[in-house]
Amino acid sequence: MKFNDAILLGDFVKAKELASQMDRDSLRDTLFLLAYDNENIATYGFVSYLLLEEETSEFHYIASYLFSMALNHLEGAYQTSFHHAKKAVELSPNDINFKEYLLFFNVNPDKLLGNEEAFNIANEILKNEPNNKATLSVISEITN
């Protein structure tokens, strides 16, 4: 059985077995394409299954990414995505990539991350990466 078939059939045990052979980026990209192409929420069901087995920042990030990029047309997608993005940062507070991703929620249409919190996160990122263009762009938007 193929990974995509296992997801679409709800066989998350088999899907987890097949996913164990993928790195994080491959898993994210495969789930993204499956969610986007099929407009199927089973991909999120699978990530939720993984989170119940082992709550990690990586799985929260993948859940967030699915809702912000592939399933963002669904009502409540950005709010669900924001929740998972915050959990990823909470579980891995030193990971700059998760913090940078969280800044997206300040500039997306729903603006779920307030300017003050975005400014504080951006300054944390700039302490480690003073030339981070995405972060500098967010600060520029906030201060203008």
Mean pLDDT, rounded, of the chain: 95
> pLDDT for 115-124, tens place per residue?
999 999 999 9
Decide: helix, strand or coil at residue 80: helix
Q: Does residue 29 have a pLDDT over 90?
A: yes
What residues contact 38, with CB distance under 8 A and at least 6 apart? 8
Rounded Cα distance between 106 and 112, Å, is 6
- Note the pLDDT tens digit of each residue in 90-140: 999 999 999 999 999 998 878 999 999 999 999 999 999 999 998 999 899
* Distance set, CA 18 to CA 14, 37, 51, 61 (Å): 6, 20, 16, 20
**Residue 117, pLDDT score:** 95
Q: How far apart are CA 112 and CA 126, in angstroms?
A: 21
